[in-house]
A and B are shown apart, each in its own frame.
Chain A
C-alpha cells in the first residue's frame, strides 16, 4: 500500500486510529499522514469514515484507540478550541455560523479583539474587513447579520472565520458546495496562497473535477478503512470511483431514451414573483427530465417553491395536465400531484427524531386512512414497498430517521413522495453531499420514474449531473430563463456560457482558441 513518502516528515500523522459509535465501526486502524504545503484530498462515499476522521483531527470527537502526532509531537484534542489553539482549523459541512450575529461577530467569535476586557467592536470590524478582502469578497458588509446573507455568502464568511484563526492545518469539508462559481475561483486562489505559505490542507469534496483541479495528493476511504493514497495524476477518475465504491460501475448515468413529443403535464406561462422570477414560461412533458441550471441564486429555488405553493403573490398561469391550478400551499400542490424534494433534507425534508416509517407515511396518510383513522395494515404494506423500491438500507423501520446515512435519508425523502404517486416531481439539488453510489441509484430512479410517465424538474449545482441526467436543461439568469439546451447543444461549455449570460458562440470560440 503506497503511503505518503516516509522520508519527508509529515505535519500530521495518525497511527492506528479506531472509532466506534454504539458498536458500529466508523474508523478501523487508520494510518494517515499529510504534509505542509500540500493540498490533500480525502475521498470516499458517505459512511466511509471521512467525517469521523475529520472530527477526530478537529477535536470534535475522541478516538477509541490510536495516536495522533502534529509537527512531530503527540497530541490529543479534547475540544474544537483545543485543536484551534494548536493551529488545526476545520470548515465544517454544516455551517458553524450563528445566524443572528453579525458577520464581524461571527468571524471573531472565538477570540475577539478586546479593550479593557470588553470586545472592541471597531477592531473586530477591521479584522473582518481584512479577512474578507483576503478571500476577495469585500462586498460583504461585516455589520450585516449572517441570517440575511444568501447561502453562498455565508460560506464565504465561514471561510473567513477559519482563516482568521491562522491555521497550520486547514480542513475543508465540502466547503465549496454552496459557493457560486465566481467565489469558487477566489477560494481556489486563496488555497493556493495558503499552500505556498506552507499550510497543510485537507480537502473533502464529492465533486471529482474539483479534486482533480486542486489536490496534490488524494486518499481514498471505504468502510472506515484507509484504502489508498496516491499523488495527483496517478489514478484516473474511473479508478478513483472504483476504489471508493469497491466495485465496478457500469455507466455513470442511465441512457436517455429517444424523445417523443409527449403532451405537457406541467406548463407555466409568464410566472412572476417579486424580483426573483421574471416571466418564466416552460412546459414539461410526461416522461421528461428537465434540468434547471445556471449560477446559484438566479431564481431556480424560487421557481421550485413557487410551483409547490410555498410562495405568496405568484402571478402567471400554471397548468397541470391541461387544468389551470394555483396551489396556495404544499398541501394544495400535493393534491394536484406535485412533489418537492426540498433543499435541506435535515430541516425541510425530514422530522429527524421520528421513525423512518412515520417519515415515509407522512405525505400519504390521507390515502392510507379510512375516514380520520389510519389503516395500519395498508400503511405497513405501503411503507415496505417504498423501502424495497428505493433499496433504503435500514435495521428497522421504527428506528429514528436520523440514524440513517445522508444518502439513505435523501432516499427516504424521495420515497415519501413516491408513495403519493406524483405526476410532477420537483428536485432541489437532491444529490448535494451524497456519496457516489447513492447518486447513481438516484439517477437511475429518476429515469425510471420518467419512463413511468412522471415529469421531473431537476435543479442541480453540478453541471455534470445536468448533462448526464436531463433530456433538456433550461438556464436561469437573474430570474429569467435565458437559454434552453438540448441534445448535442447540452455541453458544459454551453451551460457555463449561458449561466454567465454571455454569447455562446463567443464562449465556444474562446474555448476552441
Chain B
C-alpha cells in the first residue's frame, strides 16, 4: 500500500511540485500584501487567474497527445468577441452585425433577460468547442501537424474576431459581470438565491470568490470524467505511443478530435470569462499570442511533458496560477514597471531551467533523448 502511494507520488512529481510551489508563493504573497488573506484580494486574484487557467487546461489536452494548440489564444479572443454581442442582456441586444466588402450580416434579434444570457453563454461555449472541433478535423482528416494546423486556424479565428470587433467595444450585462467576478455572496445576492446570500448556513462560504469555485467545478465536471473515459485514456495512449495505440484498437481519430474540441471548449470558457470580466470584446492579437504562449508555459510548469503521455490539466491550472502569482509580486514589491517584463522572462527561464537541472544528474545519457 505504501508502495502504491510512493509510486503515485513519483509518477505525479510534476503536479506535486507545482502545487507546493503555488502554495509557497501564494502564502508568501498574502503575507507580504497589506490586505493579504482577505476576500477582496482573493477575488481580484481569482479574476486575474481564471482566463489563463482555462487556457492552460485547454493547452494540456493536445499536449498530452504530443501535439500543441497554437490557436487557444485566438479561440479565446474570438469567443470573447462573440460574447460582447450575445451577452448584453437586452432583448435584441446589439445585433451581431458585420460589414465586409459592403455586405451586411445581421443576426436578427436575440432573447433578452436571464434566459437570453444563459443561451448566450451556451452559444459562446459552443462556438469555442466548434472551433476546437474544426482544429481536430483539420489535424485528423487533413493529416497536418497540430502545431502548424492550429497556427493556421488560429489566424482564421483571429480574423473572425477582427471582423466582429475591428475596435474594442461591446457591452456585457452588468449583473452578469458582477455575479461572476466577485464572491459567492455577491453571486447569491445578484441571482437572488439563498435569501439573496443572507442565509445563515451560507455565511461561511460567502467570501469564496466565484472564479475559484468555477476553477474547481469545471475540472471536476469536465476534465475528471474525460480523463476516466475511454477517449480520455486514448489521448494519453496516443501521446505515449501512437503506433501502439492504433495496434491496440483505440479510437485514435475520435480521441484526437475530442481532444481538440475539449481544448476549444476550455479556451471558450476563458474567452467568455475574459469578456465578462472586461465587459467588452477586444480582438487584441498580441494579447491572444501572449495567452497562447503563457498557456504552454503553464502546462510545462504544471508538470506535463511536451512530449505527451504524462501530466494532467489539474497540474496546468496550478502552473497558470504560479505564473500569475509571480506577476502579482511586482505590485506589492514596487518593482519598476519597466523591469517587469524582464523579471517575468528571467523567472520563467529560471523555473524551466531548475526543472531541467535533473538532466545534469542523468547517468545514462541515452535517457536524455527519449
Give A contacts to B, CB under 8 Å: 60, 79-81, 84, 92, 94-102, 105, 109-110, 112, 114, 117-119, 121, 141, 143-145, 273-274, 302, 305, 310-313, 329, 348
Contact = CB atoms under 8 A, between A and B. Distances in A.
Contact of B7 (A121, A143, A273, A274): A143
A105 B365 CA distance: 29
Contact of B247 (A80, A141, A310, A311): A80
A148 to B, nearest CB: 9
B104 interface: no
Nearest to B248: A109
Interface stretch (B165-173, B233-241, B290-298, B314-322): B233-241
B240 A118 contact: no
B25 to A, nearest CB: 29
Contacts of A102: 11
Interface of B: 3-4, 7-8, 11, 225, 228-230, 233, 236-237, 239-241, 243-250, 308-310, 362-366
Nearest to A60: B247
B244 A141 contact: no
A99 B243 CA distance: 12
Name which of A97, A98, A117 has the most chain B CB atoms within 10 A of its CB. Answer: A98
A106 B212 CA distance: 35
Contacts of B309: 98-101
B225 A100 contact: no
A348 B370 CA distance: 11
B239 A311 contact: no
A144 B245 CA distance: 18
Contacts of A112: 230, 233
Instruction: Give the secondary structure class of A's interface.
Output: loop
Given A112-B230, A144-B7, A96 B240 contact: no
Contact of B366 (A81, A143, A310): A310
B4 A143 contact: yes
A414 B41 CA distance: 66
B236 A101 contact: yes
A482 B228 CA distance: 49
Contact of B237 (A92, A109, A114, A141): A109
A117 B228 CA distance: 9
12 contacts: A80-B249, A95-B244, A96-B244, A101-B233, A101-B309, A109-B245, A110-B250, A112-B233, A118-B228, A141-B3, A143-B7, A311-B363
A310 B248 contact: no
B73 to A, nearest CB: 27
B363 A313 contact: yes
Nearest to A158: B244
Nearest to B64: A100
A384 B130 CA distance: 56
Given A119-B230, A145-B11, A312-B365, A100 B240 contact: yes
The 10 closest A-B pairs by CB, nearest first: A81-B249, A100-B309, A100-B240, A98-B240, A118-B228, A96-B247, A96-B244, A98-B237, A109-B248, A100-B310
Contact of A101 (B228, B237, B249): B237
A119 B249 contact: no
A98 B229 contact: no
A96 B248 contact: yes
